[in-house]
Copies of this chain bind each other. A is one copy, B any other.
Amino acid sequence: MATQKLLSDDEVRRHPQAWAVFEDIRATRQSDFINNFWRALANDPPQLQRVWEQLKQVMMTEGELSPLVRELIYIAVSTANGCSYCIHSHTAAARAKGMTDGQHAELLAVIGMAAQTNALVTALQVPVDAAFQVGAA
């Protein structure tokens, strides 16, 4: 159970700022479904709006990384941070954006590899090579 109430549509409708965000989520995603994260955040309408606006700018604008690649990165961070909800929601989002089983398998292999070498490097306290500094040849 969440540490704040998950607000129903009826409850959100009472707060114009929050309701406007819910309407924008529905219009943007072209779906009536609004997942629990937003229903929890809706308890703080300015925070709800801030996070949603930022998500749109970071995840949904045109850019040099495809929407799918951004989702893969999101899953990678969420895994390293141990956020179960985020792993579930962004794995679903990645699938909705076309992630294949093969891509998912490769994503997991890279995540596991990185976690392993992160740990080895940290246990070994390896000093950064001069060649990896910005501007080095």
Contacts and interface: CB of A to CB of B under 8 A. Distances in A.
Contacts of A127: 1-2, 6, 36, 85
Interface in A102-137: 102-129, 131-136
Given A2-B126, A129-B36, A82 B85 contact: no
A1 B122 CA distance: 11
Tell me how many chains of this kind the complex includes.
Answer: 6
Point out which of A2, A78, A122 has the most chain B C-beta atoms below 10 A from its C-beta.
A122
A15 interface: no
Interface residues of A, number: 85
Interface in A91-107: 91-92, 100-107
Interface of A: 1-6, 33, 35-37, 40-41, 43-44, 46-47, 50-51, 54-55, 57-59, 63-65, 69-70, 72-92, 100-129, 131-136
